[in-house]
Structure 1
Amino acid sequence: MAGVRKRGEQIRQFILDNVEHNSKDIVNVTCRAFDISRQGVNKHMQRLVEQKSILIKGATKNRHYYLHPLVEWVEIFSLDKTISEDIVWRVHIAPLLGELPGNVIDIWHFGVTEMFNNAIDHSSGQHATVTLKKTATSSEVVIYDNGEGIFKKIQRAMGLYDERHSVLELAKGKLTTDPANHSGEGIFFSSRMFDNFTIFSGNVYFSHTHGEVEDWILEQQHPNTGTIVVMRLSNNTSRTAKQVFDSFTSGDDYGFTKTVVPVRLTQYGDDKLVSRSQAKRLLLRIDKFKTVLFDFNGVESIGQSFADELFRVFPSQHPNMELIPTHANEAVMQMIKRARVHDTA
């Protein structure tokens, strides 16, 4: 009986771990994973429903399963001098998250306070709406402010061509429109601490998923006013804030010395990366770092002028910097090697 009971627990945990990504097909997915009948899986589904661990929506043919929220909360805060990010965290968010592992709480503490402080100091909005949803496996916090919009503000402050350029600069890190009071590190590190981190604003959005390729950008069909930040994290992740900091810092002062630049954010649609102006756009502000990883994932080819500016001209002007191409295909690497050969000629 103990063996049967243990297998049942494994099946139910599998369902909880996978239902969010397979809300319609979770029964079939579980059948295949454990080689059991639909009838057997449905018994486990029913037990999870009775335990209020999952929800069922829709009729038989259109049935979807979802994790049952353990906590659902929403609050609107006035963005005036009466509110601060530490109060939002300590009084509202932390008690709702409850008894999660210390490393998980540390990540939430950093992300929530950094993002809410951005709303206070940078949004020029009147209010911010914060929502929290916690399930048996993960938690999600959404912060929405009705301000100017983060990408529009960056575009205006830096004199950029459009909002897409703002996303590229945000992905690099060390970006702030208020350098006297902010380091520009909050969004960069928050985006790499969470399982999923997304900013919706205006016509584009910025997204980073832990363990996948670097940040990416997409134009939206329905533009957002203000700024929406969505943070999602497993309740039992082993990731720590220190691990993330250590990946991009060095020295006794933990200086933010390393970054990853997603090269494909420089592309527009089917445009090819061929010009020096495109390379210079990519190189903007990277002299703030000692080590830069250029992520070429999704880039099929680059032109000679683009490669020359990136890997010969700029390095010759910044000899103490380390520029490292990653995820580059054979065609891209050939152009990079050609530029570097000319540099040594």
Structure 2
Amino acid sequence: MNKVRARGESIRQFIFEQIGDHHHDIAAVTAEHFGISRQAVNKHLQRLVEEKALVAHGETKARRYALRPLDIWHKTYPIEGKLTEDGVWRSDIGPAFEHLPENIRDIWHYGFTEMFNNVIDHAQASSVTVHFKRTAMASELMIIDDGMGIFRKIQDALGLLDERHAVLELAKGKFTTDPFNHSGEGIFFTSRMFDCFDIISGDVYFTHHFEADEDWILEAGNVSGTQVWMKINNHTARNVKKVFDQYTAGDDFGFDKTVVPVQLAQYGDDKLVSRSQAKRLLARVDRFKVVILDFEGVETIGQAFADEVFRVFTHKHPQIDLVHIHTTDAVMRMIKRATAGGYPPEN
């Protein structure tokens, strides 16, 4: 690729990336970023409109641009004995991604089949609807079922007091309500392959964003069934192997490393102060060799919480490498206080 063509591709890619936030002034923003005239940018914009990658509204200074959907459709499937995730992939979903790079197709193949199979096997639903949209920049897909709701099902299976606790278990990985037929890895790895991954069910909205590498719980507003939304840039270099390799700590290439977002253990203005909160945070993490506790968004923790996590747990599970990241000074003080103590644990 010569320099002129490469620069043109960079300008077009910048337009695609920025147009969502700058639909009214994309020409000015692009001209400033690349140090070129607005007239030069307008030539790129006009070409993208002619190629049907963009759609334009209005005239002259009032003109606005947006990404044009290149493909958009939806379909509802009754859940019956003959419905399979690989059959739907071959007939409907796979062909929609055939023009995308192989690494993106592989991610969609993994993510779609895992999430669609969850509906068939776990949702207790009568039907499932798939919505799909692709633009020049990204592709996105939503899977909606009319079942009992994923968080409620996990809550019932584990006897949890709150649906929100179910999100914490999903974020750790290796959780399934059907261990005989499932490994419990599907949602964990799918959420980390896509740029955006959301699950809405009941009163809970769970979201994971790749760029920030953060998990969030929000209020959903009593949504029936389960809605899963996935979105990824069509040109990302990410691939399935890279994501799996991030969570492999040993030579056996198993899923033995996890990152636990500590913030998911607190709700609203709650502070992480009690041993019961600590035990809930650490439930089932003994299935991993390396456990990374991500304290992003956690300002402080209490003495009992810190003692249970960093002294009691580590003494009971010396084979587990417990790591903490993104800690504030206040959190670090409590961790150092806990690890400086002796054993048996304090009352």
Q: Which residue of 2 aligns with 1:112?
A: 112
Q: Deviations over 1:151-176 (max 9, x none)?
A: 11111111111111111111111111
Matched, 1:208 2:208: yes
Q: Which residue of 2 aligns with 1:165?
A: 165
Q: Which residue of 2 aligns with 1:49?
A: 49
Residues in 2 aligned to 1:60 and 1:218: alpha-carbon distance in whole angstroms: 41
Q: Deviations over 1:85-144 (max 9, x none)?
A: 001111111111113222222111111100000010011111111122111122111111
CA 1:167–1:60: 2 relative to 1, 3 Å: farther
Q: Which residue of 1 aligns with 2:132?
A: 132
Shift of 1:51: 1.8
- Greater shift in the superposed pair: 189-198 or 43-52: 43-52
Give secondary structure in 2 for the equivalent of 1:256.
coil
Matched, 1:288 2:287: yes
Identity %: 58
> How many corresponding residue pairs?
343
Q: Which residue of 2 aligns with 1:85?
A: 85
- Greater shift in the superposed pair: 103-112 or 64-73: 64-73
Q: What is the TM-score normalised by the length of structure 1?
A: 0.92
- Greater shift in the superposed pair: 194-203 or 250-259: 250-259
Q: Which residue of 1 aligns with 2:242?
A: 243
CA contact (8 A) 2:15 2:26 kept: yes
The code of the aligned residue for 1:12 comes to: R
Q: CA RMSD in A?
A: 2.2
The code of the aligned residue for 1:245 comes to: F
The code of the aligned residue for 2:138 comes to: S
Residues in 2 aligned to 1:243 and 1:147: alpha-carbon distance in whole angstroms: 33
Residues in 2 aligned to 1:261 and 1:138: alpha-carbon distance in whole angstroms: 28
CA 1:204–1:50: 2 relative to 1, 3 Å: same
Shift of 1:3: 7.4
CA 1:108–1:335: 2 relative to 1, 3 Å: same
Residues in 2 aligned to 1:163 and 1:58: alpha-carbon distance in whole angstroms: 47
Residues in 2 aligned to 1:61 and 1:253: alpha-carbon distance in whole angstroms: 60
Contiguous gaps of at least 5 residues in structure 2: none
Q: Deviations over 1:210-242 (max 9, x none)?
A: 13132111113x332111111111222211111
Contiguous gaps of at least 5 residues in structure 1: none
CA 1:4–1:190: 2 relative to 1, 3 Å: closer
The code of the aligned residue for 1:146 comes to: D
CA contact (8 A) 1:214 1:295 kept: no
CA contact (8 A) 1:213 1:297 kept: no
Q: Which residue of 1 aligns with 2:301?
A: 302
Give secondary structure in 2 for the equivalent of 1:255.
coil
Q: Which residue of 2 aligns with 1:192?
A: 192
Q: What is the TM-score normalised by the length of structure 2?
A: 0.92
CA 1:276–1:239: 2 relative to 1, 3 Å: same
